[in-house]
Structure 1
Amino acid sequence: MTGNNPDTTRVQPSGAKLNPGDEAPRGTPGTGEDLCPDCHSSGRIGDAPCPTCAGRGTIIRGVGGA
């Protein structure tokens, strides 16, 4: 089960879906995948999907910058 939890997934005005740990939609220029800090990339916390990454094990963060 990945990224389909309506209780945790946010929808941006553009229609892109974000998990709670994401800073931007996947594929956004200037962003990249990072390991989920809560489940440490396993995608699970106990027997449930991680609420931060919605079970993906990764989140999207901005990279670089000045």
Structure 2
Amino acid sequence: MSTSTSGSGPTGTPGTTPNHLKPGDEAMAGTPGTGEDLCPDCSGKGKKADGAECPTCEGTGRITQGIGGG
């Protein structure tokens, strides 16, 4: 008997790092020259005004964006 723990990580939980790009991300988390920021569409709440999950950050309230020039 084996259990698989692979697959998508938790979403909707600030501080977690999903292993894919969300629509609002400019790069994968941990990419040099990037940082975590509040989602501009939901102001970091993870939900839109109507209570639905924010599609930009997939409910995490956070996006990854470029912080450096180059």
Give the TM-score, by structure 2 length: 0.69
Q: How far off its partner does 1:64 sit?
A: 1.7
Aligned length: 54
Aligned partner of 2:53 in structure 1 is 49
Give the CA RMSD over aligned residues: 1.6
Q: In structure 2, what is the Cα distance between the partners aligned to 1:52 and 1:2?
A: 12
The structure that is strand-richer by fraction is: 1
Return structure 1 stretches of 4+ with deviation > 3 angstroms: none
Match of 1:18 among 21, 25, 29: 21
Q: How far off its partner does 1:47 sit?
A: 2.0
Aligned partner of 1:9 in structure 2 is none
Unpaired runs of 5+ residues, structure 2, are 1-9, 13-18
Whether 2:42 is the aligned partner of 1:33: answer: no
Aligned partner of 1:2 in structure 2 is 11
